[in-house]
A and B are shown apart, each in its own frame.
Chain A
Amino acid sequence: MTIINPYLPFLSEITAVIKHTDIEYTFRMTYQGDVKPGQFFEVSLPKFGEAPISVSGIGDDTVDLTIRKVGKVTDEIFENYVGDHLFLRGPYGNGFDIDNYKGREILLVAGGTGLSPVKGIVDYFSQNPADANGFTLLVGFKSPADVLFKDDFTTWQKNLNVIMTVDTADDGYCGKRGMVTEYIPNIPIKNVSDAVGIVVGPPMMMKCTIAELLKAGFREENLWISQERKMCCGIGKCGHCKIDDTYICLDGPVFNYTKGKFLKD
């Protein structure tokens, strides 16, 4: 019996590049197979290494990977992608199960690139608004220049209640300002004890947002988070993402808050 080598990546063509900011691009990659929002691929550029990148969109035979130019591998991806390909392996992780949210009232709160792993959820309910009993998307970016998925926001606004805010902006900016947490108390929720909250973003943003949602009356078992950690393998071997008895790559990165709240690095 031949054993499958789980570390050998496959070649994936870049079919489109969507530039959001100077340091954040979405790469549309050829991929055939099952994949869920919140799952991730190990993306590699031989010579420079691999980086775990979450799926920010799912198409017919493509996946979107939104990559921020912040590290050794991602710097190179930005320099060398032109008309070319990348190596992938995955998808890994549990991902979000949209069935958990169908028929429910949903508040999705994302911070910055934290929007990537949940974008598939937003896309789904934007296309199938009747599947949710109300859907609010609350997203915060650092500044107007950091806004991702601008075109998608236009689409989402048609069917969903969308609130986008920036931490800081020049005087001329006419959009909303302030932290996402400031907007939570004023979001109309019909039945908070049954409403679903999904929170993804930087560690501090997630902590404060969860606190605010609990204060607003959301129940812990209705809250979902996604975690980000260093991962070298994605398959429970390398150890870097382990927290307590949990492997983020295998058991996560998506957690119900009743479990996620106990994760202490």
Chain B
Amino acid sequence: MGYQIDLKKMNAILADLSKTYTIYAPKRFVGDGTFAHIDTIRYGEISDLAEIEFAEKSNYSFKEVLLPISETLFYFTENEMKEADARAKGAIVFLRSCDLHALKRLDTIYLENGAVDSYYKRLRDNTKFILMGCTQSFENCFCVSMGSNQTDDYDAYLKVDGETVLLNSRWEALDDALAGATAKDVVPDFVTENDTVVELPEAVPQALFDAPFWEDYGNRCIACGRCNFVCPTCTCFTMQDLFYTDNGKAGERRRVWASCHVDGYTDMAGGHAFRNDKGQRMRFKVMHKVNDYKRRFGTHMCIGCGRCDDVCPEYISFSNCINKLSALVKEDN
């Protein structure tokens, strides 16, 4: 159902929803970027639509709402364990089309690949997704190439237009709240072209894993892992136990985000590690995003948000890499 409603009234509806839901959206954090006088846009709690950064791409994705950077799984004493409580409230997440496609990738890993992840599921089941439109493509975006520029899979679409708000709702509770609003046909804003275009490689032959091509990345990558942390489809974590210093017998087990670029990712007890070369780590990540995941699950993992290109301190471009790889695959054939 489509609606038009006054901005103030919509904020009042959100205020009401926030009694049962924490509302997360991309916000601007002034001066909080990695460099001096640079802002960062990342997810945070909001209570008013004016707090949402609609005009620019967020540097970090929504994934931390469902996969916290550090998540306590359980608390333990010497002989007992207690599962960490779930959040008391549900969540409402504002996100763009590409990130909604990324959500499907998270679902695949956490709900379908092996046992259901109970921690993910309890958050996911209690989360509503509100689509933010894109009136223009941002720098480094290649969602059109990845087919993630459009989506139908939202609980609501919301656009702020001056003092009015346009909505498209598929969520009964929101429909009820919007009962007094004017009915209006609302079509989400989707981009249909990007400046950056990628050509996806056909099945990449294993012989290319050792191509000199990857050495360029080995020379440039500093293994900081930022590309993984900003990626909405990177889902890896490492287990971490800690105990409370004032009571050495009690503590907690957490999972924290992990990065396949960062040292230690493959280290086994005894010291053996795989992929010591950073170029091979790049190869591993690229292959996962545009080859391996598809072989296993049928769609590419990468959704073309370009955040990895935005964040890389060494200016490594993932989209360039895919295009070069495609050219290599063609040559190889």
Contacts and interface: CB of A to CB of B under 8 A. Distances in A.
A104 to B, nearest CB: 30
B6 interface: no
Interface in B212-262: 235-243, 248, 251, 253, 255, 258, 260
Contacts of B239: 49-50, 232-233, 238
Interface in B119-145: 119, 121-122
Contacts of B241: 44, 46-49
Contact of B118 (A6, A51, A242, A262): A6
A249 B238 CA distance: 15
A74 B269 contact: yes
A106 to B, nearest CB: 28
* Dominant secondary structure at the A interface: loop
A250 interface: yes
A237 B113 contact: yes
Contact of B270 (A47, A70, A239, A242): A70
A192 B7 CA distance: 79
A208 B78 CA distance: 45
Interface in A14-30: none
A4 to B, nearest CB: 7
A3 B109 contact: no
A9 B74 CA distance: 10
B114 A245 contact: no
Given A3-B116, A46-B251, A230 B267 contact: yes
A46 B269 contact: no
B12 interface: no
Contacts of A5: 74, 83, 118-119
26 contacts: A3-B122, A4-B116, A5-B119, A6-B117, A6-B118, A7-B119, A7-B253, A46-B78, A68-B270, A70-B271, A71-B268, A72-B269, A230-B268, A233-B239, A236-B109, A236-B113, A236-B115, A237-B117, A238-B239, A240-B236, A240-B258, A245-B295, A247-B113, A247-B114, A250-B113, A265-B284
Interface of A: 3-9, 11, 44, 46-51, 68, 70-74, 85, 87, 203, 228-230, 232-233, 235-240, 242, 244-245, 247, 249-250, 262, 264-265
Given A240-B266, A262-B206, 4 more contacts: A7-B73, A46-B81, A239-B237, A250-B113
